[in-house]
Each structure stands twice: as C-alpha cells, then as structure tokens.
C-alpha cells in the first residue's frame, strides 16, 4: 500500500471536504505535533497517517512540529527518533519542520500582552498550593491571594522571571480566566514556569518555558494551521485553546478537532509507562521489538505498509474503543504473506542421517521463494547425507494423527525427497540425538514419478552447508489485555522473548541484510535485526507467527 492510500471515510474527511468546497479554506494545513519526551508509539502512527494522509489527499501540507516546551524531559535522541519514525512510515514534511521553541519570543511577547491587558498575572503559590486552590469538579476554585496584582507589578515580575532572578518553582505566570468555571482547565491555568535548564534546541537562551496548553494553539496560528487535529483527551482543553486565540492578536485562527485515540490490547500506550519499562530494564530500550513504539515494531519486522493498512482498517471515529492486538498482527501477516520469500530455518536442530546417500556427495535443489509468486524467483538449496530437521518434527512414540517423522514412517522433505525413518541414536539420558533414514532417489520434487503421496512434509537444512544464527522468538509483552492500575507491571509476560542460539538456516540467508524479511517455512515471519545482526553472525527476530496463537488463550 503506497503513501497515497485513500483514507477510509471518516468525519474529518467530510469536514475538510466541506471546508474546501465552501471556500472557507483554499488549502488545508495540518500538523503532527509530538512532544520530544520519548519515542513515538503505534497510537502516534494513527495520528501521523491521519494528518499527513489528509493533507496529501486534498493537496495541502502537513507540518512536523516539535512542541518542545519542557527541556527537562526532552532529548535530541527523541527528536531524531521521531523524524525517523515519520520517514519510515513513508511521509515527508518537506521544508515544513518546525519547533515551538522557535516561537518562544513571540509567545513571550503575547504573554506580556495578556499581562498588560489584565488577563494574566504572576503567582507566588507553590505547585501543590495551586492544585489545592483549583477546587474539584463539584466545588469552585479559590482565587490566589496574588491574583489582584496590578498589570505593572505583574509585568515587572514576569520580566524578572525571564531574566532568571528567581529559582525554579518560585513563581508562575497564570491566565486570569475564571476560578469558578465548571471546566477545570479554565481555572487560571499556568502559562509559564521557571526552569533553569538548557533546552535541546535553543540552548541556554531561556529561564522560563511556556506550558503546552499555551504554546500549542498559538504555534498553530503562527504556522497557518487550518485543522488542528488531536485526540479526545484534549476535548476539555478546547475552550482554553479558543480562549487564548480570542484574547491574543494572532495572525490566523485555527480550529481544533478531536478524534478517538488508539487503545491497543496487550500493550501500554503511555509514554510515562513506556519510559518506566526502559528505565527498569524490563525491555532493552525504546526500540525493543516487544515495545509498541514505531521503532520497536520496525525492528521486530513490521513494514510501513502493514502499519498504514492497520491505521486505515481501524478508521477514525469519535468514540473511544479498544482495538485487539490481533488486528495489528494480522495486518503484518497479510502484508508479509504477499512479499516475504519462503526459506527454511531449523530453530531447534535434530541431526538426521540418510544412510543410503553417498557420504561425500551433495546436490543443489532449486526451490521457489514463493509458491504463488514465480516473479520472486528461486534459490539453490544444497542437499547432502547429513541434515538438520526440527526436533518437534520427530517423535519416537507419536500420538494418533501425528503427520511428521517417526520410526518406520515416511515423510517428504520440502523440495527434496521422501524419507523413511529406520532408526535412532540416543545419549545416556535417552534423548534422541540422531535420526537415521533412507531416501527414495526416484521421489525428488518436480521430477516425473515423484508424485507419490505421504502423510507429511517437513523442512530441513544441510548440516554441512547451513548457516548458524541466533533467533529471537518475540511474543506479546503483557499477558493481560488491559494492563492497568498500580500493578500493571505484574502482567508482564515472562515468555515475551525466547532466544535460541544454535539455529541452522539455509545458506541463502547468509547474505541477508538488516530488515530483510522472510517467512521461515512452517515457523512464522522473521526479520534480520536492525541493531544486533552482524556479517557472519545474523540475528533474526520473529515478527509474527503464521496464525494467531492467542485465540484460545
């Protein structure tokens, strides 16, 4: 699916269509405005696809703007990862890369304007006192004793705040709105706080920083954004968004629209919780393949096409709902089923010896990469006397209905010959170490007379020619579909990753590059790890099983 994929019908598309048709806007301008305080997750992917997709569909533009108003939590690493995530999804902001910090001077001047108009004041209350004064949903707030300061006094204090005269937390600038408002966001919200910390984008230029609620709408106005699209949790902030626009001489008035955020089962979508997983060592980093971050699912082997298809499938609505993880997983299965070459990999090797095959000989078998896509071509797979098969594909005393290899029974090796098991070798503990077989040389796949049917087909690799590799079997990070509450980490899945160190792969995989994706026959979809794989020491991550293994859990 290309980046030009048509967005599924939704109420936002209808709004944009009507605004363009009526002449309200000649062109639309959207924006994706992440805070650079962590990596983006799959919920952000929905917003990215929506904002960039609408702009592209209707011939407008979408800005990438970093709402970087809190230097304590923001890092250059996060900024770069966000850029890479947007690019990986297939979208481009062109020349429209912006930072709220680039507007700090204008935002400050507008804040002074509100002070001069008597609509903002400097407050000396501590943060916990401000929270107490705000009241509750059923009780009005209490006005600060500093609310009555004159405009001149407030202006002097605000300028001294900017100059760095006061320590962190000593004072804040608040909008003077209505402490009795039923909307808590209008109860004199904080506009500026003192933070003596360097900023990752503008360095040491500032000692005061605007709050997100103040900077966001004005940044939209400065950039000429027409449709400020955000998730439903900002619906209660909309009156404040509009209050600032009503009371400031902004050059253009954007309009805010809300849509339902993505809630995904078996995952957490809070940056705070994701950061805790990283800091506590529960995962290897923000890009751990078990994380729901865009960089995590990329490393796991997801394709941008699969993610865009998923976002299009779930649509855009106004009601919060939960999307089952299986829908995301199925999106990558459908995508990789079409594009991933089929190869053979033995994850838990068991030695197999073909007694009637010459010891020193070998042959190359041509096996297609995809049974339904001849355009993907074929590769030559070496075949010889000693092979590796999957340990689970042999049972000495099989149950009824077992369709793999067992003593006295026949199976076909994928793309090769029919074998019959004639014996086994065991170690001192009674564990089978070698399966001994004979082969029928007249049953090579693709040759006349090779059509004889047997009960099963298994995959294999040549013991002499195969490539050793590490394979990581990833599963869902949580066992509970909604890991919430104070004990949310108790639902971490102890089996979310299994690392196999002695896997054997067919030699065609020796040249696989980072992010190359394959279907390991009968195993699932796998990807060459983006970080840990090295020439001669490949590491493969399982992207998804061949079918949903959680259906009956």
Instruction: Please spell the DSSP secondary structure of 342-383, one letter per residue.
Output: EE-EESSEEEEEETTS-SS-EEEEEEES-TT-GGG-EEEEEE
CATH of domain 104-211: 3.90.800.10
Q: What is the mean pLDDT of residues 290-319?
A: 96
Specify the residue for token string 């009674």. Answer: 430
Q: What is the mean pLDDT of residues 205-227?
A: 97
Q: What is the mean pLDDT of residues 307-328?
A: 92
Strand intervals (E) in 211-348: 227-231, 255-259, 263-264, 322-323, 342-343, 345-346
Q: Is the pLDDT confidence value at 6 over 60?
A: no
Q: Is the pLDDT confidence value at 3 over 50?
A: no
Kindly calculate the radius of gyration of the chain based on its CA atoms and give it in whole angstroms.
30
Token duo for residue 258: 């809300």
> Which letter does DSSP use for residue 78 in this model?
H
pLDDT, tens digit, 9 for 90 and up, residues 452-503? 889 899 999 999 999 999 999 999 999 999 999 999 999 999 999 999 999 9
Q: Is the pLDDT confidence value at 59 over 60?
A: yes
Q: Is the pLDDT confidence value at 550 over 90?
A: no
Catalytic residue among 31, 61, 261, 300: 261
Assess whether the region 104-211 and the region 342-465 belong to the same CATH fold.
no
Q: Determine what percent of the chain is predicted with pLDDT higher than 90.
A: 92
CATH of 265-339+467-553, one of 3.60.150.10, 3.40.50.1100, 3.40.630.30, 2.40.240.10: 2.40.240.10
pLDDT, tens digit, 9 for 90 and up, residues 513-547? 999 999 999 999 999 999 999 888 899 999 999 98
Q: Where are the domains of the chain?
A: 104-211, 265-339+467-553, 342-465
Q: Is the pLDDT confidence value at 7 over 90?
A: no
Model confidence, pTM: 0.93
The pLDDT assigned to 368 comes to 95
Catalytic, 271? Answer yes
HSE-up (13 A, CA, CB side) for residue 132:
6
For residues 226 and 91, give the distance between their C-alpha atoms in angstroms, rounded to a whole number. Answer: 19
Q: Which of 496, 482, 544, 549 is nearest to 517 (CA)?
A: 544
- Spell out the residues 6+ positions from residue 545 whose beta carbon is closer than 8 angstroms to its own: 524, 525
Catalytic residue among 46, 65, 238, 271: 271
Catalytic, 261? Answer yes
Q: Is the pLDDT confidence value at 170 over 60?
A: yes
CATH class of 342-465: mainly beta
* Lowest mean pLDDT segment, chosen from 53-57, 130-134, 300-304, 320-324: 320-324
Alpha-carbon separation of residue 292 from 41, 89, 281 (angstroms): 5, 15, 16
Q: What is the mean pLDDT of residues 216-236?
A: 96
Catalytic, 390? Answer no
Catalytic residue among 13, 31, 35, 521: 35
């Amino acid at each position: 699916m290309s980046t030009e994929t048509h967005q599924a019908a939704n109420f936002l598309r209808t709004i944009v269509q009507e605004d363009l048709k009526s002449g309200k806007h000649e062109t639309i301008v959207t924006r994706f405005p992440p805070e650079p305080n962590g990596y983006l997750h799959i919920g952000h992917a929905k917003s990215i696809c929506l904002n960039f997709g609408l702009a592209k569909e209707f011939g407008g533009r979408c800005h990438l703007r970093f709402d970087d108003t809190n230097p304590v939590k923001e890092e250059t690493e996060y900024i770069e990862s966000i850029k890479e995530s947007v690019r990986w999804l297939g979208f481009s902001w062109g020349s429209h890369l912006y930072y709220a910090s680039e507007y700090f001077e204008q935002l400050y001047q507008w804040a002074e304007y509100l002070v001069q108009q008597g609509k903002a004041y400097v407050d000396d209350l501590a943060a916990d006192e401000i929270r107490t004064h705000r009241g509750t949903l059923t009780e009005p707030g209490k006005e600060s004793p500093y609310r009555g300061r004159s405009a001149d006094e407030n202006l002097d204090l605000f300028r001294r705040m900017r100059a760095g005269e006061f320590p962190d937390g000593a004072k804040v600038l608040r909008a003077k709105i209505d402490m009795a408002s039923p909307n808590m966001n209008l109860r004199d919200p904080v506009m500026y706080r003192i933070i003596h910390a360097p900023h990752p984008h503008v360095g040491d230029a500032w000692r005061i920083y605007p709050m997100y609620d103040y900077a966001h709408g004005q940044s939209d106005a400065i950039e000429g954004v027409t449709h400020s699209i955000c998730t439903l949790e900002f619906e209660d902030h909309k009156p404040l968004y509009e209050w600032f626009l009503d009371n400031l001489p902004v050059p253009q008035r954007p309009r805010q629209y809300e849509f339902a955020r993505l809630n995904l089962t078996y995952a957490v979508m809070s940056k705070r919780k994701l950061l805790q997983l990283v800091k506590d060592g529960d995962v290897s980093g923000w890009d751990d393949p078990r994380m729901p971050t865009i960089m995590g699912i990329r490393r796991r082997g997801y394709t941008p096409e699969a993610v865009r298809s998923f976002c299009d499938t779930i649509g855009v609505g106004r009601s919060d709902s939960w999307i089952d993880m299986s829908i995301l997983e199925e999106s990558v299965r459908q995508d990789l089923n079409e594009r991933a070459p089929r190869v053979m990999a033995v994850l838990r090797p068991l030695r197999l010896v073909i007694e009637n095959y010459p010891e020193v000989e070998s042959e190359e078998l041509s096996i297609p990469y995809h049974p339904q896509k001849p355009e993907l071509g074929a590769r030559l797979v070496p075949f010889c006397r000693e092979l590796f098969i999957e340990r689970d594909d042999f049972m000495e005393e099989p149950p009824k209905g077992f369709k793999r290899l067992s003593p006295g029974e026949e199976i076909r090796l994928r793309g090769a010959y029919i074998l019959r098991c004639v014996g086994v070798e065991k170690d001192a503990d009674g564990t089978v170490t070698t399966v001994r077989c004979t082969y029928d040389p007249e049953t090579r796949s693709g040759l006349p007379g090779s059509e004889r049917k047997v009960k099963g087909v298994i995959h294999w690799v040549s013991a002499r020619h195969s490539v050793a590799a590490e394979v990581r079997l990833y599963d869902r990070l949580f066992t509970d579909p909604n890991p919430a509450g104070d004990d949310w980490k108790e639902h971490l899945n102890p089996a979310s990753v299994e690392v196999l160190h002695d896997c054997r792969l067919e030699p065609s995989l020796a040249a696989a590059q980072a992010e190359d994706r394959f279907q390991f026959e009968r195993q699932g979809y796998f990807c060459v790890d983006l970080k840990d794989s090295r020439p001669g020491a490949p590491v493969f991550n399982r992207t998804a099983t061949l079918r949903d293994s959680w259906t009956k859990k």
